[in-house]
Amino acid sequence: MDEKTQNVLHDLDEGTRLLKGEWTSDGRKLFNFEVTEIEVHNSCGLKVSTKEIVSGLRYFLRGKGSPNARIYIHKGIKSSNCIEAAEKIGIGTFFFYTTDENEQEAQIEIVLHPEAFEDFIHTITILRSKGELKFRVIVKKRLEETPGDVLEVVSYELENYLTLRPD
């Protein structure tokens, strides 16, 4: 078998692992959640150092899956063509915690570029009124930290799906 064929087979195998929710050889994993709750928070505050008013929206989604998740979507601050997000790598973070009921949940925090955040608002406005929402997130292990602590969010997808039932 030539090298090109081996690479294609390897990529297919990695894609299959990812879809099954298994860790891939490069440290990625896919998590699926059904969105059961959407909250929109509008905040306003005074930046002490510059005395300017800072306001913005933040979305909170509750995801049902294995494990259940709390998903926070923030709008990043655009400053000289880069997004300022304190200690963020990728587009966000993913970590596990234990609730008061001793159940494991995930917390996902995603910081989006302002234009991507506007796209998110538009998408969620359209999708939430039709069918059910599914949130998929791909995470990757961070090399500098111990496994299992905080994972890096590489990408996410938000989609809706309709369940058709015969009468």
**Rounded mean pLDDT of 77-85?**
51
Whether 68 contacts 106, CB under 8 Å:
yes
How many CB atoms sit inside 10 A of residue 154's CB?
A: 18
Could you tell me the CA-to-CA distances from 39 to 70, 75, 111 in Å, in that order? 11, 15, 16
Which of the listed ranges 11-15, 20-24, 95-99 does the model predict with the highest average pLDDT? 95-99
Asked if the model's pLDDT at residue 11 lies above 70, the reply is yes
Task: List, in order, residues 6 or more apart from 157 with CB less than 8 Å away.
Answer: 135, 136, 137
Read off the pLDDT of residues 26-58 as tens digits, 9 standing for 90 and up. 888 899 999 999 898 888 888 788 888 877 788
User: What is d(CA 164, CA 89) in angstroms, rounded to the nearest whole number?
Assistant: 40
Whether 153 contacts 142, CB under 8 Å:
no
Read off the pLDDT of residues 54-76 as tens digits, 9 standing for 90 and up. 777 889 999 999 899 999 998 87
pTM: 0.76
